[in-house]
Amino acid sequence: MEIALYIISGALILGGLVGCILPALPGLPVAYAGILALHFTERVQFTTGELVFLTAIMLVAQVLDYFLPAWLTKKVGGSKLGTIGSIVGLIVGLFFPPFGIIIGPFLGAIAGELLNGEGTKTALKSGMGSFVGFILTTGLKIGVCGLYIWYFIKSFI
């Protein structure tokens, strides 16, 4: 059973890492399930504090993944419609994996700005804010998965 838990844990963590890049998979929750499988092995017993920490960073990264692109759209000068467009683009993009999740918020922010009567320059600036938010959250998710991988490898040392 021990070996099966290690195999399941490793597969889930690596699958989660792939899911951080390919939006069709819920990367961090899958990787976290791998951490939980690792916790049930005989060699690894996370403390309650460690489990709370690993859960918290997964949840924070998940929330940021949905809201940071819209927030950055607004931060770079995007209007309310640009921000709403970014969110709508994200939702629509979920139906067109894997590139829809990347392009959707970008195009949604641009469409929102154009509907608001802004010029192309402002619309592109808002779209870039959304894209930068996507890149940042992808990096954050990969970093969290990297931490999970480190815990997995550490269990063999």
Domain boundary assignment for the chain:
2-154
For residue 35, give the nearest of 157, 146, 138 by alpha carbon. 146
Q: Quick check: 122 and 113 in contact, CB under 8 A?
A: yes
Percent of the chain whose predicted confidence (pLDDT) is above 90? 37
Say how far apart CA 100 and CA 32 lie, in whole Å: 25
Say how far apart CA 64 and CA 138 lie, in whole Å: 10
For residue 80, give the nearest of 117, 113, 124 by alpha carbon. 113
Token pair recorded at residue 142 = 């990969």
Provide mean pLDDT across the span 23-27: 76
Residue 73, pLDDT > 80, answer no
Q: Quick check: 90 and 101 in contact, CB under 8 A?
A: yes
pTM of the model: 0.79
Residues listed for the chain: 157
For residue 90, give the nearest of 71, 110, 66 by alpha carbon. 66
Place 12 in a pLDDT band, splitting at 50, 70 and 90: very high
pLDDT at residue 4, as a whole number? 92
pLDDT at residue 23, as a whole number? 67
- Where residue 22 falls (left for φ over 0; alpha for ψ -120 to 50; beta otherwise) is beta
Q: Of residues 13 and 23, which shows the higher confidence score?
A: 13
Tens-place pLDDT, residues 106-154: 898 899 889 988 888 888 888 888 888 888 988 999 999 999 999 999 9
The number of CA neighbours under 13 Å toward the Cβ of 68 is 17
